[in-house]
Amino acid sequence: MKEPLIDQTAKILLNSFDSYIREFNELTDRTPAFFKTKDWNAMQQNHRKRLRLYKDQVKATLEILKEILVENSKNFDFWNSLKAYYSKLIAEKKDKELAETFFNSIIRKSYFGLAINEDLMFVHEGYNSCVIYPNKNLFYTYPSDWGLRKIIVRIMEDFDFEVPYLNKEEDIEFLIKSINEVILTRYIPTADSTTQVLKSVFYRNKGAYVIGRIKIGGKWMPFIIPFLNGPKGVFADTMIFDPNLMSGMFSFTRSYFMVKVGIPSQLISFLNAVIPSKKIHELYNAIGFNKHGKTEFYRDFLNHLSQSNDKFVLAEGVKGMVMTVFTLPSFNVVFKMIKDYFDPPKTMTRQEVREKYKMVGLHDRVGRMADTHEFEEFHLPLERIDPLLIEELKNTVNSLLEITEDELILKHVYIERRMIPLNIYLESCSTEDAKYAVEEYGNSILEMAKANIFAGDMMTKNFGVTRQKRVIFYDYDEIEFLTDMNFREKPKPETFEQIYASSPWYDIAQNDVFPQDFKHFMIGRPDVKNHFFDFHNELFNPEHWKMIQEKINSGAGIHAFSYPQKIRFRPREEI
């Protein structure tokens, strides 16, 4: 392969990647100003722009390389030489793993039908091969001999957000009280006790999250302090030590944080120590590098395949009219494929379904919608596919399949976290758990609504229950923006003919919604049905939905709390 061509192509790739990172950082760096001025609309627009950035940069790079790739798109020697040369160019980069993923994206979009190939792609490198850099500039350090009050005062000074505090002295007392109650009742500080707090602030919605850890009693105790900017100033909203709550804040149902990242692998390493229950790919997702998160997820998947022997089978639950869903029982995800034909009454096209998934990908998921990785040309070992699954796939998604001697190739598939379908969960759980689940179900619908998402098909089979018993929506083919819907009171019949009409006697437009009808399909379990109707009575009131629409249209924005309201220092403080 001609070296000048390889040199030229590799440098174009590297320059394009550097442009992506530069713009990614520029968009991220705007966030503190939006928080300071409470410009929540600009915050959301900026976030969406950053979400689109990677795909736009890949597309632009392919356009630049168009002439080179016409002759070499499927040339093994070209890509093999290019990978080797590119590897040398990025060897000293502090975001090397992200540069590897960018290369993989380019080859996947150029070399159609390419299986995962270690000679041509970065398959096993990634996070685990990154250099470990010194942490001295990553966090502030507060020694224990300062005493608790001085440490808290200094933290408040180091994170002033350039906005007056609502009541800084009261915040200090709240934080001291929290540490006394949770940590100092169990551990006594010693000479080697210390507190470390990441210098980078994690922004999302209307919140700014400060993340740190305290070394005491021979171990690290992580914490998160959410700050909010309300009408009267900035305030510390609570202090979180619960590892389950911390994990939930980095959940697959949450929007990505806007956070300044110097060395990605270094920040991920710190977060992994603070929240060990989160996998590496989940943490990359959480800080906005979702394409690399997808790469790390795939590495986990390959490792799991090599260490397991169970078969892929149909997922439990009612078969969908739009999607065929299957899973590998030993791996906590589901694979979703859009059917070739949809059962009535579904009338949308496959492309329309894909657009709905893109819509969710660019939207604030507010902790109630599952994040999804989209794959093309996804290869599975044929021997691991259950015969009943093969038969179902051939019957429903045959156009998206290619079967070779030893592989099943999925031309297009979505992969997301596996949950227990809510309808199945409600069949066997206790009455107490069922009451909580239906409360969560209603909360999920209303919280999505406040984020301008109307779920459309709100049957319980389209919601899942997580390990923390949180109810999450995962079926997106009928979602719409809430502000596009017309919520109406159902007309009352006045004549005999109207009362006994076999079909509605009044006009119904495409986006008309009658909330009173929700009761007919929402919850069928007798022992919790009335509890649900009472607890979420507002769901059936058109005026409540209109009120949410008005708030969205006013531009006030919403804040999706990722922790219980009951642990807030000032539960009634508005933002």
Question: 435 to each of 26, 441, 466, 548, how far by Cα in Å?
Answer: 46, 10, 16, 25
CA pair distance 136, 145, nearest whole angstrom: 20
The pair of structure tokens assigned to 480 is 């719409």
CA pair distance 360, 354, nearest whole angstrom: 10
Instruction: Give the neighbor-by-neighbor strand order of the sheet with 333-338.
Output: 313-314, 323-327, 333-338, 413-417, 373-375
DSSP 8-state class, residue 240 = B
Residue 73, Cβ density class (10 Å: 0-12 exposed, 13-18 middle, ≥19 buried): middle
Residue 395's H or E segment, with its range, is helix 387-396
Q: Are 245 and 265 in contact (CB under 8 A)?
A: no
Catalytic residue chosen out of the listed positions 237, 364, 371, 475 = 371
CA pair distance 553, 202, nearest whole angstrom: 27
Q: Are 290 and 303 in contact (CB under 8 A)?
A: no
The pair of structure tokens assigned to 203 is 């922004």
242 labelled catalytic: no
With H, G, I as helix, E, B as strand and everything else as coil, classify residue 225: strand
CA pair distance 214, 237, nearest whole angstrom: 19
366 Cβ neighbours under 8 A, 6+ residues apart: 205, 253, 254, 255, 447, 448, 450, 451, 558, 560
Q: The tokens 């906590």 sit on which residue?
A: 332
Residue 406, Cβ density class (10 Å: 0-12 exposed, 13-18 middle, ≥19 buried): exposed
The pair of structure tokens assigned to 459 is 């049957």
Longest alpha-carbon distance in the chain: 86
Residues marked active site are found at: 371
